[in-house]
Amino acid sequence: MANIERIDKCIDLMRRAKNLNMQYWQDMLSCKTRWQSKSVRELHACGNTACFAGYLAVSKFFQEDGGKIHVNGSPEWDDWDGEEAVAKYLDISFSLARGIVLGSGDFWERFCDVSFMQVTPEHVIKVLKMIKRGELE
């Protein structure tokens, strides 16, 4: 069963998200720097883009729960990083996390009628709410 409290925090995070870009954990080129953002505030101040998982990695609640930012900008949870860290942190399946984070298969087309490149924070929120209702596992 998914961790509803953590999903709710992710929904709030996506409501505040700017510059969502599902291609990159963090796209440091948009900031013209070689360093990663360490917080959402830093991410936004720089104009940097990040995907849902990249936003999770820099979120205060994830870090307070013990999560870290992996060297590539992805979330790190216990011994997992990337989509596996998302799966473990949210208590969802690896295949569901892979669909959300990497757009595997036609995930975003099936659930939001958009391509992976067109995903917005509102689309991520829709999917997170579907997980909360038990519609996706």
State percent of the chain over pLDDT 70: 82
Strand partners, 20: 50
Question: Cα 61 to chain center, whole Å?
Answer: 13
Residue ranges of domains in the chain: 4-132
The pLDDT mean for the chain works out to 86
Q: What is the pLDDT of residues 56-90, one digit of tens each?
A: 998 999 999 999 988 888 899 999 999 999 999 99
pLDDT of residue 70: 87
Q: What is the pLDDT of residues 108-122, one digit of tens each?
A: 999 999 999 999 999
**DSSP 3-state helix, strand, coil percentages of the chain (rounded to 5)?**
55, 10, 40
Residue 45 has pLDDT above 80, yes or no: no
Residue 29 has pLDDT above 80, yes or no: no
pLDDT band at 42 (very low <50, low <70, confident <90, very high): low
